[in-house]
Structure formats: C-alpha cells, structure tokens
Chain A
Amino acid sequence: MTTATASTAASVRTYRDYDRPLWQRLLLTREMAIIGLLVIVAVVATLSVRGFGQPITLTYLILDVTPILLIALPMTLIMITGEIDLSVASVVGLSSVLIGVLTQAGAPFELAIVVALVAGAIAGAVNGFLVTVVGLPSLAVTIGTLALYRGLAVGLLGTTAVTDFPEFWTDLAKMKLGGSNVPAVLLLFLVLLVVFVVLLHFTPFGRGIYAIGLSKTAARFSGVHVERTKLVLFVLSGTIAALAGVYYTLRFGSARGDNATGLELQVIAAVVLGGVSVFGGRGAIHGVIAGVLLIGILASALRLANVTSDVINIITGVLLVASVVSNSFLAWLRTKRRAPGGTARAKASAAG
C-alpha cells in the first residue's frame, strides 16, 4: 500500500482529466466501464440463460442483493475517505441476534428493531471513536471489532436460532409492490440511495469526504472537520449494517449468531469493483451500485445455468483483480503511446 506514490498518481490523474473534453470525462470513466459491463452481462444472461429474464428471478435477485446494496452505500463514503469498515457483517449478525433475544424475551417487535438499530449505531460509534479520537488505523480497528461484534452475537445466542417472528414483519420483508414482482424492500433502498447520493455528490459534507481521501492535511486546512466527518460515517455504516441485519433476519425468518458471516468481503469486493479506490479520494455511488449488481447478476445467472458457486467465486475474484489491474495496464499503455521515444516523464512514471 504505497500511499505516497498512489496519492501523487491520483492527483496527476485528476489534473489530466480536466484537459479532456466533457464527453470523454463523462463516458471514459471507471464507472461507465462497469455500467457497460453490467449491461452486457445482463443482456447476454437474458438471451442465453433460460429463466433469467423471468420476473421471479429478478425478485429473488433483488431480495438477495439488498443487504449488500444497503451496506455498500456507507462503505463507499468510508472508503472514499481512505478508511475501511470490516465489521459490517458482524454488526448484521449482532443486530440479528438482538432481535432474536428480545423477541424470545417477549418484547414488542418494534422495540426489538429500535434496539438493534441503536446497537448498530453504537457499534459504529465505537469504530469511529477508535479511528478518529484514539487515532488507530481503521483496518486494524475493524478487524478487532469484526471479532468482537461477532463474538457478542455468537456469545448471546450460542448455536441456537430464534425463528419465531411476527408474521406481519416477515411478510413485510418479502412483500411485493401492488400486483408486481418488485419487492417492497427496494423502496427502502431507493430512499437511502437518494439520501446518500445527495449527501456525497451535492453537499459540502460530500465534497469534504473526497477532500479527506485526497489529502487529510489539505482538507483540514480548508476547514473540513476530518474527525467529525469520519465519526459520522462510521455511525452511519453501523446503523445501516444493523438495518440490513433486521432485513436479513426477517427475510430468512431466522436470528443466528453466524448470520451473514463473510459478507464484509463481498461488500468490499463490490465497492472496489465499482471504482472506489482503497487509497481514498476516488469513487461514485453509481459505480458501486453497478458493481453490486454486476456480481449479483453474474451469480444469479450462472447459478441458473447450473454453474457451481465455486466458479462464481473464481469469476468474482478474477473480475476484481482484473478491474484494478486493467487501470494500471491502461495507464502504462498510455505513457508508452504518448512518448514512443521515451521522454523524461514516461521514464519517470515507468520507473515510479
């Protein structure tokens, strides 16, 4: 993780971007490449995989990717600031267990949901506190809280599962809009999507997020509240992970300590695929949505085509590596083409 060289590379790229005409800036981006790939995969899948285009498949697709879509929203913002939250899947498990434990104890279900969401917010605040106030690297902190929150979840329920939930709520999680096949949970996601798009792309807070990712020091000198911004993002991440936990529990009608184990890696893979740099400072919500959907549609279509989940794993991994390596490869090609004789700049960037 060579931070120094990467940040100069990022600033050079941004600078160069503004030399280009507007259409190039809009169309030749990482995000558009992923959206293009998404469209191609969707069309090919609809044409070649029997049953993929059917409404019921799309219903399940939406139900399946919803937790990842939800958690990816705050994760995008956190990663643009250059931090990461590996504890999200553990928060999903913890909120699921809290709902289970409270339901078992006979508490009203509405109360259980509120408690789960508050617990998620607290879990996020703990991450944020350790990262911003104590000043620890978020990768290490959230590996610790990944174990801690999962441990609390498993400790509270052991290996038992709570499966007895009010029908009203479990039906709500799977309810479809009107007579259509569109799950109602999509509305919840759309509302949050609008909130996050406005927050990131249309507010000073959002510009601050990019500024922090490009240079923390510069951001601070320009009046961005670096610590406060990060703290807010971690609280948001915890709360939404808990919300995803509520949904997960209701959808499968089962509260277990090991619910959603390993989901954090799927979320991060989707976010990175969608064009967010782990160095921070780069990324956009539309790319991330495309990244999540790309992985979701691939998995769903391949499963329908009787391809086993292992091949899906290989494809996910190779896609992830290829998508990040292709950027470096294209940059290398560009420097070669621009300076066939080998100017000083090309030599410098080749050596760098």
Chain B
Amino acid sequence: MEKTAVTKRLQAVGAAREFGILLALVIVVIAATVANPNFLFSSDGWRDLLLTPSILVLVAIGQAIVLITRNVDLSVGSILGLSAYLTGRLFIDIPGIPILAVFVAAIVFGGLLGLINGALVAYAKVPAMVITLGTLYAYRGINVLWTGSDRVNASDLPKDFLALGTGQVLWIPILTLIAIVVLVVIGWIMKNTRSGREFYAIGSDPAAAELYGLRVTRRLLIAFVSSGALAGLAGVLYTARYGTVNSQAGAGWELDAVGAAVIGGVAITGGVGSVWGAAIGAVLLLTINRALPILGIPDFWQRAVVGVLIIGAIVLDRVLAVRQKRKLIAAREDD
C-alpha cells in the first residue's frame, strides 16, 4: 500500500509538465560540463549558472501569473528599465538612502506601473496585448526621456549595494536566494490559496468565473500589479548585478519572459501552467545561451535554438493535451 502511493507520487512527478523541462535543463548542464568541466565546477561557472537567470526568473514568474489569467504583459521590459534607472537615481540623489528603502521604492513603483496596465485592461475591457503594447512604448519613452544620454555607473552606487549583486551566502549568490524566496512564496500562493486558484479559474473560462461570482476585476488588477512589482524588483537586481544602467535596460525582455513561461508549460490561452515551470524555463533559456559556445556552437545560433525550444515545448503541450482528452473519452466510454 505504502509502495503504490510512492510509485503514484513518482509517476505524478514524471508526468508533470515541469519535469520534462527540468530534464532538458539537466541535460544541457551535463553536456556543457562534459565538454568543459569549468561550466559547472569552477566557482565562476557555478556562480554564473545561478546568477545570470535570477533576474529573468522574477520577470517570468510575473508573466506566468498574467498568462494564467489569459492575459499578457508586454510592458515588463520597459518597467524593468524604468525601475532600474529609478534605483540608480535614488542612490545618486539621496546619498545614504537605506538599501531596503530603494528596494521598496522600486517594487512599489513597478507595482504602480502594473496597476495602470491592469486598470486599463480590467475596466476598459480591452485586450491586454494592445494595452501593454501601448505601455511598452510609453514607459520606454518616459525612460529615455528621463535618462536622456545619461547613465548610471557602478561608481555612482554604494559598495554595499553592488556587493548584493556579486555576493553569496555559502555557495549561493544572494540574487538567486531572493529569486528562490519569491518563487517559493508565489508558487505556494498560486497552488494553495483561494486567490491563487482563482487566477486559474479566470484563465480557464473568464465568462464562467464572472457568472460564478469571482472578483475578476480585482484578480486581474492583482495579476498585473504582481507582474509590475516583480519587474520592479528585477530592475533593482539588474542594477545591483550590472552596475550600469542606460535607457535601454531591459529592452526586449518581454519576449524572453513570455518565451520562458511558454517553454515552462504556461499556456498562452490561460488557465494552465505554474510559476515553477516559468522559472525553470527562464533558467533553461539563459543556460543554453552560455552552453552553446562551450558545445562548439557559435552563440549567434542561440536565438534559433531558443525558437526551436519554444515551438517544441508548445507542440509537446498540445500532444499531451490531445492524449489526455482521448484518455478521458476512453474512460467515459468504459463506464
């Protein structure tokens, strides 16, 4: 009895959509490590493996929440850029400002930008794609206007803050720890709380959710605010990690974030997937980027590999869905 429960558990893990993508990640890491042990076993290699994807992981988690509600947030790259520059400006304009205050300010700022997206989507009942395409331009424009030809340099930032970007606890970089904490908290909320489950309900069938009496408007606002706030947090970490911020920080990240979520099994049609998947997708996306040159493939081909991966992931999803449907029909006929 005990044993069957365990095998069932194991089977469930194996069948989970996240498992396939995790397996792909492990294969990439092993292949790259075999080709060059430094990929994993040098201290730099290990650090890069964890550090590089941490920022994209945060943005991808936010994107996953929005995608699960059957919406999309194309403005995340612009929000990241704005809050990264805000981070730099706060340190320059208010000498001695506590680092924690900067974190809070950037997260709140990102959340407000997300609130604008959410309000426009929820109240005007306009497709999120159009609204966030508009705010992608608008926020980036404001960013360039604000930054001008100016840029934030590492020398403008306090040493303690920059240490966050490179520091580590034991063998794990601090930025990675932040990403993991956020991932665990949001992953738990999405799976176990009523509000988390409602995101899925809304994405599966918006009309039914509305008829059932779910507070769709409020949930949509929360989804966009979360996405914005996470992009804001990612902006702070971006500044800590790279030290330099110009007006183009985060440009094009919206497609990486959507790509990471899609690779990780979050369906663009809503209601399906998890923030875990999106996070693993983000790690895979950036790990491939580093693994390709080591495997002897010029990194010019990176985007092509990513494209094949995205298409492969959605085709796989489709195949699994069709098979499941067939199984359900068969089960019904058996009765």
In the complex, which of the residues A149, A152, A320 contacts B133, with contact meaning CB atoms closer than 8 Å?
A: A320
Alpha-carbon gap, A309 to B311, bound state (A) = 34
Q: Is B300 an interface residue (CB 8 A)?
A: yes
Q: Is A166 an interface residue (CB 8 A)?
A: no
Once the chains bind, are A1 and B120 in contact (CB under 8 Å)?
A: no
Alpha-carbon gap, A84 to B124, bound state (A) = 22
- Give A134 Cβ to nearest chain B Cβ, in Å: 6
Alpha-carbon gap, A136 to B140, bound state (A) = 31
Q: Is B127 an interface residue (CB 8 A)?
A: yes
Q: Is A248 an interface residue (CB 8 A)?
A: no
Once the chains bind, are B207 and A5 in contact (CB under 8 Å)?
A: yes
- Which B residues from 129 to 148 make CB contacts under 8 A with A? 129-131, 133-145
Once the chains bind, are A329 and B307 in contact (CB under 8 Å)?
A: no
In the complex, which of the residues A148, A158, A317, A327 contacts B136, with contact meaning CB atoms closer than 8 Å?
A: A317
Once the chains bind, are A313 and B144 in contact (CB under 8 Å)?
A: yes
Closest to B297 in A: A155
How many inter-chain contacts with C-beta < 8 Å in the A-B complex?
182
Chain B contact residues: over half helix, strand or loop, or mixed?
A: helix
Q: Is B195 an interface residue (CB 8 A)?
A: no
- Give B190 Cβ to nearest chain A Cβ, in Å: 20
- Which A residues from 1 to 55 make CB contacts under 8 A with B? 1-6, 9
Once the chains bind, are B133 and A279 in contact (CB under 8 Å)?
A: no
**Residues of B close to A56: CB separation below 8 A:** none
In the complex, which of the residues B124, B269, B308 contacts A328, with contact meaning CB atoms closer than 8 Å?
A: B124
Chain A contact residues: over half helix, strand or loop, or mixed?
A: helix
**Residues of B close to A315: CB separation below 8 A:** 141
Once the chains bind, are A146 and B138 in contact (CB under 8 Å)?
A: no
Q: Is A192 an interface residue (CB 8 A)?
A: no
Once the chains bind, are B318 and A1 in contact (CB under 8 Å)?
A: no
Once the chains bind, are B124 and A139 in contact (CB under 8 Å)?
A: no
Once the chains bind, are A136 and B206 in contact (CB under 8 Å)?
A: no
Q: Is B125 an interface residue (CB 8 A)?
A: yes
Alpha-carbon gap, A155 to B142, bound state (A) = 34
Q: Is B246 an interface residue (CB 8 A)?
A: no
- Give A147 Cβ to nearest chain B Cβ, in Å: 3
Given contacts A147-B306, A312-B141, are A136 and B301 in contact (CB under 8 A)? no
In the complex, which of the residues B127, B303, B314 contacts A140, with contact meaning CB atoms closer than 8 Å?
A: B314
Once the chains bind, are B262 and A316 in contact (CB under 8 Å)?
A: no
Closest to B205 in A: A4
- Which B residues from 100 to 134 make CB contacts under 8 A with A? 120, 123-131, 133-134
Binds B, one of A110-118, A265-273, A337-345: A265-273
- Give B43 Cβ to nearest chain A Cβ, in Å: 30
Once the chains bind, are A154 and B137 in contact (CB under 8 Å)?
A: no
Closest to B206 in A: A2
Question: Can you report 29 A-B residue pairs in the complex whose CB atoms are below 8 A from each other?
Answer: A1-B127, A1-B270, A2-B125, A2-B206, A3-B206, A5-B206, A137-B267, A137-B268, A143-B258, A144-B308, A148-B306, A148-B310, A149-B307, A150-B303, A150-B307, A151-B303, A151-B307, A279-B127, A310-B142, A312-B141, A314-B137, A314-B138, A317-B134, A317-B136, A318-B138, A325-B126, A328-B126, A329-B124, A352-B210
18 further A-B pairs in the complex, CB-CB below 8 A; given A141-B311, A159-B300: A1-B70, A4-B207, A139-B72, A140-B310, A143-B258, A143-B259, A144-B308, A144-B311, A147-B304, A148-B307, A151-B300, A309-B144, A313-B141, A316-B138, A320-B134, A324-B126, A324-B131, A328-B125
Which residues of A are at the interface with B, using a C-beta cutoff of 8 A?
Answer: 1-6, 9, 84, 130, 134-137, 139-141, 143-152, 154-155, 158-159, 257, 262, 265, 268-269, 272, 278-279, 308-321, 324-325, 327-329, 352
Which residues of B are at the interface with A, using a C-beta cutoff of 8 A?
Answer: 70-72, 120, 123-131, 133-145, 205-207, 210, 247, 252, 255, 258-259, 262, 267-270, 298, 300-308, 310-311, 314-315, 318
